[in-house]
Structure 1
């Protein structure tokens, strides 16, 4: 039976891969509405012919990889289960009576296998980014980031999974509720640590060097009634040509961060609009709304998994070599179900996120009052990242947490016309 399931799973994945290939590479031309031709949202007005070609190619490859990677992850977990690898990993990890050591060995073996399986794909993405001029990172630096990723995720996973399976063993019916209650303080704690412990492992952060610009940003924050003492910049030029700025952390560890690439290639007015956008997130409490949304998602997700997982084990436990939900080698099944639910919840959360981003844009327009700088800033962001300004519907629903550039620029154009 396991062999038949494996063949069917591979065939289903190949059919899906073909469908997505046709959809992304042949059913969408990446064009823009006729009414917007020649406008400031038309990429032909701010990209060269070569940049337009590269943008189309790069966007299609990235979109295709996005849509096949998650189902490939499902396929990997499925084969780990039906091949008995997960069962063997648990068997090999039984070298100590201490449960935490047992769990750590199992999770190390599973994490190492996952890292190895995905390494060629991640390397392909890295070489593509280098080839299209987005990444400037050398291989040793890229590899270093991957190793840091592995160990950071491993430590967090050991803590989370050890606690989770201890709860499952103690309460096989209500484990999902107790686990959900614990995710609330743990998630907030991680968000609190992110800016000061985790992020500096990857990049160097320091207060904004341009004190004149910092004064302008802090004055803008004062207008918005935002308590702020410093703006941070991060050294990204050694890794990317892309531009970015963001808000991270919670409480007294929250901070506004600018990439040094953004500082080098945008004017003060364009940077102030971006800062106004990030301040809009703060004023409208989007970070806390995001936390609430994440907590709600975890509640629904854990409840669904608590219903689906026992059913799977009861019906197909022999095939997966799982007899009880509290056995840690059932973890690939839990990860498969989690990944599946998360993937199909993307359109909902992305829709909310795009609304929040549009609101932040509107706030920035009101407080900065530099719509022309906003347009040129968006154009430079699109050029730097070879962004697809008008993505296909499925790509927008599943990938875009921000409105496409064509929508953001058109909104600003409409604002200027209505003045």
Structure 2
């Protein structure tokens, strides 16, 4: 059984590395084509930025594999030995926290390198080392608190409740819904400052737009995203009465009112089509399958690993393999998400009255965020929750940026 898991994880790593290699080759070829949606300098810069991130992703994936080998060959036994004489619930909390801490220490250098080397080189990073450290400390503390509480609860369920996997799934799913409710008003303000939108004229326009969709919001807020990053964004956060409209301060500086309303119209499309609830339900279905599988792991697996079949070891194995499990379902989730993006674009043109402002906004977002507008089909298939912006512009009736001959030229060999 251990050998089978090792082969599956190796194939998972191999596929991830292959996708990154193909993406690097594709973008390296594409950057020599005539620029689309960007000035030549931005076109080259965005391609180099993407290639740098993909190369880092390859190294991360290889380290992920090394970490998997460590846990499977020695680390899990170490956790079991470290907590041998503890109460089963305390053992679960300690083992899960230690697992998370070791993984965090291994992954932290990649986050530092991306922020202070890659993002700094391409003029995206606005974060200082002090702010980065504060963010890491806050995020780590929140993660450990939630992980400790959740692992203790799941351990109790495993010990005391028949069909523990089903009730553990219900608990985790409930926590996911709760976090969505708490995020905009409780969690996000821990990291960023949210202030009500002061532009009364724009506020009124947004209010009228929300009324057209029947969207009840707690308010329109501006977040100080620029203290960390130069990218533009906007989103609706929360569920039920906690919903709020959140605008990045960087977005207000770059888009005019009509373009901003078109972007919000797109987000309202997700609300109108209940995409948030559909996504949560889809995630719930995937988690249900995952808990069922992990709830029926054979005792022989624990024997091969040399550990006891305790709540702690069950949860550690779950966390060790969940990335592979989610990767299997990623193409389905990405496909559904891309479909939803097209539908949200259509809704935005209906409620806003024209597609021109959304087209203009998308072009600005691509240029300002230095988002390279082309990608290899494998990357799109697995990872892209949004369709390529060129395809979105085509669907909105703007064909000026699409060149079929150019696209055909990129279908050739895409090796590094």
Note if contact 1:6-1:79 (Cα within 8 Å) is conserved in structure 2.
no
Note if contact 1:77-1:333 (Cα within 8 Å) is conserved in structure 2.
no
Aligned to 2:73: 82
Note if contact 1:70-1:343 (Cα within 8 Å) is conserved in structure 2.
no
Aligned to 2:408: none
Q: CA deviation at 1:261?
A: 0.4
User: How far apart in 2 are the matches of 1:229 and 1:161?
Assistant: 33
User: How far apart in 1 are the matches of 2:285 and 2:8?
Assistant: 32
Q: Which runs of 5 or more structure 2 residues have no equivalent in the other structure?
A: 401-416
Q: 1:211 to 1:303 in 2, by over 3 A?
A: same
Aligned to 1:245: 234
Note if contact 1:234-1:257 (Cα within 8 Å) is conserved in structure 2.
yes
1:328 aligned onto 2:312: yes
Q: CA deviation at 1:171?
A: 4.7
Residues 107-159 of structure 1: CA distance to partner in whole angstroms, max 9, x if unpaired?
A: 33222211111111111221211211122111211221122111111111112
1:48 aligned onto 2:32: no
Note if contact 1:70-1:339 (Cα within 8 Å) is conserved in structure 2.
no
User: How far apart in 2 are the matches of 1:12 and 1:346?
Assistant: 15
1:26 aligned onto 2:10: no
1:109 aligned onto 2:131: no
Q: 1:15 to 1:344 in 2, by over 3 A?
A: closer
Question: Match for 1:182 among 171, 176, 181?
Answer: 171
Q: 1:31 to 1:410 in 2, by over 3 A?
A: farther
Aligned to 1:409: 393
Question: Match for 2:323 among 339, 346, 349?
Answer: 339
Aligned to 1:383: 367
Aligned to 1:160: 150
1:288 aligned onto 2:288: no
User: How far apart in 1 are the matches of 2:145 and 2:89?
Assistant: 12
User: How far apart in 2 are the matches of 1:143 and 1:218?
Assistant: 38
Q: Which runs of 5 or more structure 1 residues have no equivalent in the other structure?
A: 38-42
User: How far apart in 1 are the matches of 2:240 and 2:323?
Assistant: 30
Q: CA deviation at 1:161?
A: 1.7
Aligned to 1:59: 50
1:265 aligned onto 2:254: yes
Note if contact 1:322-1:330 (Cα within 8 Å) is conserved in structure 2.
no
Q: 1:225 to 1:383 in 2, by over 3 A?
A: same
Note if contact 1:20-1:67 (Cα within 8 Å) is conserved in structure 2.
no
Note if contact 2:19-2:378 (Cα within 8 Å) is conserved in structure 1.
no
User: How far apart in 1 are the matches of 2:28 and 2:187?
Assistant: 40
Residues 366-400 of structure 1: CA distance to partner in whole angstroms, max 9, x if unpaired?
A: 11124222122111111222112121111112221
User: How far apart in 1 are the matches of 2:243 and 2:13?
Assistant: 44
Tell me the C-alpha RMSD between the 2 structures: 3.1
Question: Match for 2:345 among 361, 378, 381?
Answer: 361
TM-score w.r.t. length of structure 1: 0.85
TM-score w.r.t. length of structure 2: 0.86
Aligned to 2:159: 169
| Greater mean deviation of Cα atoms: 7-16 or 155-164 | 7-16
- In the comparison of the two structures, how many residue pairs are matched? 398
Residues 227-270 of structure 1: CA distance to partner in whole angstroms, max 9, x if unpaired?
A: 23521110111111100011111111111111010011111111
Question: Match for 1:400 among 384, 393, 397?
Answer: 384
Aligned to 1:124: 113
Q: CA deviation at 1:306?
A: 2.4
